[in-house]
Structure 1
Amino acid sequence: MSTICDKITDGTHQSPKFEADGIPFLVISNIIRGKIEWQAVKKWISHDTYAALTARVRPERGDVLYSAVGSYGTAVAVDDDRPFAFQRHIAHIKPNSKIVDAEFLARWLNSPEARKRADAVARGVAQKTVTLGNLAEFEVPLAPLPEQRRIVEKIEALVTRSRRAREALDTLPTLIDRYRQSILAAAFRGDLTADWRAETIGTDVEGELRHLAEKRSARWPEFGRGPCRAPLAVEDPLPVPSGWAVTTLDALLVGIQSGKNFRCEERPPADDEAGVIKISAVTWGKFDQDESKTVTDRALLDPDARIAEGDFLFSRANTIELVGACVIVDEFNKELYLTDKVLRFIFASDDVKRWVLWFLRSPEGRRQIEARSSGNQMSMRNIGQDSIRRLSIPLPSKAEIAAILAVLERRLAAIESLKRMAGEQRGRLATLDQSILAKAFRGELVPQDPNDEPASVLLERIRAERAAAGPAPRRGRRPKVGGGG
């Protein structure tokens, strides 16, 4: 690089006095993804300080900045005429415009090959550094100047396309979540089985409610406290299709169990240890056994609080958006127990377990949970067992529940598949820009023009011109700048 650049230096080594406004003063975090993020600038200096800092060498359009300390390896070509200064952690490169295009050089410095070279020479413990001397010795693959510009133009076109693709993919999670919520809302309005109901005669939801009540009474002595009591009455009537009923969650349960809170080691238990789950074990739609803490005193464990496959778990405490998160436990292999903030629902009949799971995740279910949760801070809310029991649940016949769940879970599975595909494509796009740069500097991105003057010929002419001009005069010492802020 020393051959193709007129100067390789760095920013100020002194701490300038900062102002509330004025001329931007850049730090490494302002150089992101090959761009100067002017809107992220948080430090400014006066015009007098700027003049003193840039007396030695002033950054201008056509220069290249390179992060050289700490988060090293990011370059940007200056394409703006505004005045600015920057810290010493940023290298200041003035390319010889007769030999190398600034954008071409910046793109190469951001390429996998340049990164590999930077990793090889970076030294330091707390903050690794690519020294100016190291940078000067980087060997740059040099194409003829017209070809450099064609390469930059092609890179920009391809990177713009990949950026647009990333932006489109970035909108997908929101769109997917909206679609998921709309399907859940439709399921519990009866929209997914409107045709099914029109073709089906004689569904007896009232008879099935009586059957659930009988099962509840039969199982009550095993899990309930005292004699079996009547279910709580519905306080929040829901609009439901003809042939459906509205009941309370209490009518479907024979018990709610919780665990205990005590000091544990903040790590998942090993195979021969026991653990207590965290709230996060049930937060994200699937039971995560690794979100657990290791019990150090087994005497504190309640055997009745041990988690089993098929358990319905419900988070009674979390943020307003996550309180009431629920899962049905699938396969796991650790010895785990309930915490005091995660409840287990014991249903009168497992026939309604998945129905309740999806309803509590639906817009109407979330509305009720959030409305019944309490707490002075939005960062942590709680919903008590009495409020949980009073949640209103729409209930069609057993046959219609099966029909709705079949359609609902098939569509939700398709959504999850789309989500995975979007994530995979996002991962591929994350490496696409680097692949484009690697191809560009292997000479595979644009065709060569035999009419272009070879870079080797140009370099020889520049060397001859420099030799004829003699050594450049030495500059004086850097001016001092008053410290502050």
Structure 2
Amino acid sequence: MALKDVLRKVETGWSPVCDSARPAMDEWGVLKLSAVTSGKFVASEAKRLPSEVLPRIAFEVRPGDVLMSRANGVKALVGVACTVNRVRPRLLLPDLVFRLVADPDVLDPGFLGVVLTSAAVRRQIEAAMRGTSGQYKVSQADVRALEIPRLPLPEQRDVVAANEAFERRIGALERELGKLRTVENAVVAGAMTESGGRIELGRWLSSIEAGKSPMAEDTPAGDGEWGVLKVSAVQPGWFKAIENKVVREAEFINARYRVRAGDLLMTRANTEELVGLACVVRERAERLMLSDKTLRLVPDTGVAEAEFIELALLSPSVRSQVRSRATGTSASMKNIGQSAVRQLMVPDVPKDVQRKVVAAVSASRKRSQGIQRQIAKLRQVQRGVIEDLLSGRSRVNRT
């Protein structure tokens, strides 16, 4: 059945100029586009409405709302949808998000939220999507034309119940992950606060090496090919090897800049929030080179562990220093020089204590990785079960 036959209306929100800070519980806020993800609503992704701006209360988000992103610079994020199960008061719908209001006599809102994440609906959205590089969108007419399975309300609710059962199991694992992260943060914070003082990071380094950015194609290197890192290869505490651009010309390949397992990498240039991120390369990196926006920090192994420097660089106190030392007139691109990196103040922690902290964090992360694998497997099974229910290949056994 077409959504136009079972929707009462499709609403577009409002996006006034907001403060970048999150709203307090007693303040009004406007959702960011990142609040709407596929199947999950993230209420914390919001910006504070200035106190002098009167809120448009008609756009307040309520439990049971079905939200869909109508535009994004990334194709995969256009048309992602979720049902709002819980939401704090005083959050407003932005103009880049649709609110789909179902006719409750024929369409369960929870079912609508689930079916909008299905592979069949995703294909329809991608076919309807329009736009050019940098901004893609779907219209209200495109949404109304989407076709979904015609199921009786009891069967719709069976699908919702099955999906919620998976979400409860996954939610429990995600909470366990959260506890592990809290423990990791406490271990690191304890080492930072109990240290005998602060020293310049340069005292822990034997050198800093910068890469180059040769001519490259914006596609990852394949087997046997060389690639140069994008800044997005350096994530907070982990290395994302796929984030590279293939270098095809032999004259631009220089093994001197080759990334090696064990390297401590840092972004020299990025946005204000992402500049200076660091990670240790924990896996073998095949034929990848540093770019001119990435630095390789080479520790003095007699006094420092690369993994501990990584933890220190990601700590709130050092991240604050990085942001204050980064230069550049635009928040969209900041730079931090090698001299400023050396001058960052880090906790004066002896190497034996560093090793203990690294060992504790590594054990916690190993447990976290196991849980993440469980979550990924459950998500895969969940998708299969829901697709079977939507297609009619299976039914919920109510006995």
Distance in 2, Cα, partners of 1:326 & 1:298: 29
User: Which blocks of at least 5 consecutive residues in structure 2 are unaligned?
Assistant: 12-37, 40-62, 71-99, 130-146
Distance in 2, Cα, partners of 1:273 & 1:289: 13
Deviates more, 1:158-167 or 1:247-256: 158-167
Counterparts of 1:226-245 in structure 2 under 5 Å? 240=195, 244-245=196-197
Partner of 1:342: 294
Correspondence 1:181 to 2:185: yes
Distance in 1, Cα, partners of 2:309 & 2:69: 50
Partner of 1:398: 351
Distance in 1, Cα, partners of 2:351 & 2:329: 40
Counterparts of 1:93-104 in structure 2 under 5 Å? 102=106
The DSSP-based 3-state class of the residue aligned with 2:239 is coil
Deviates more, 1:277-286 or 1:154-163: 154-163
Distance in 1, Cα, partners of 2:236 & 2:336: 18
CA gap 1:401/1:385 in 2 versus in 1, 3 angstroms: same
1:388 deviates by 0.5
Distance in 2, Cα, partners of 1:9 & 1:408: 49
Matched positions, count? 299
- Which of 1 and 2 has higher RCO (CA within 8 Å, sep 6+)? 1
Residue among 178, 200, 207 paired with 1:248: 200
Distance in 1, Cα, partners of 2:273 & 2:119: 42
Counterparts of 1:290-369 in structure 2 under 5 Å? 290-332=242-284, 334-349=286-301, 351-369=304-322
Distance in 2, Cα, partners of 1:337 & 1:443: 52
1:344 deviates by 1.3
Distance in 1, Cα, partners of 2:374 & 2:260: 32
TM-score, structure 1 as length reference: 0.48
The DSSP-based 3-state class of the residue aligned with 2:275 is coil
Structure 1 residue identity aligned to 2:103: V
Distance in 2, Cα, partners of 1:283 & 1:249: 20
Q: Which has the higher strand share?
A: 2
Counterparts of 1:77-476 in structure 2 under 5 Å? 78-79=103-104, 102=106, 157-162=161-166, 177-190=181-194, 240=195, 244-332=196-284, 334-349=286-301, 351-434=304-387, 445-446=397-398
Deviations 1:357-389 (A, max 9, x none): 221122333232223223333332221111100
Distance in 2, Cα, partners of 1:378 & 1:175: 33
Distance in 1, Cα, partners of 2:297 & 2:119: 54
Deviations 1:304-337 (A, max 9, x none): 3333333222111122332222223344353232
Instruction: Confirm or deny: 8 A CA contact 2:266 2:278 kept in the other structure.
Output: yes
TM-score, structure 2 as length reference: 0.57
Partner of 1:469: none
Instruction: Confirm or deny: 8 A CA contact 1:25 1:41 kept in the other structure.
Output: no
1:443 deviates by 6.2
Query: Alignment identity in percent?
Result: 24
Distance in 1, Cα, partners of 2:211 & 2:185: 31
| Structure number with larger C-alpha Rg | 1
Q: Which has the higher helix share?
A: 1
Distance in 1, Cα, partners of 2:10 & 2:353: 64
Give the alignment's Cα RMSD to 1 decimal: 4.9
User: Which blocks of at least 5 consecutive residues in structure 1 are unaligned?
Assistant: 2-7, 12-22, 43-74, 80-100, 128-134, 142-147, 191-239, 448-485
The DSSP-based 3-state class of the residue aligned with 1:375 is strand
CA gap 1:431/1:320 in 2 versus in 1, 3 angstroms: farther
Structure 2 residue identity aligned to 1:383: I
CA gap 1:245/1:352 in 2 versus in 1, 3 angstroms: farther
1:161 deviates by 4.6
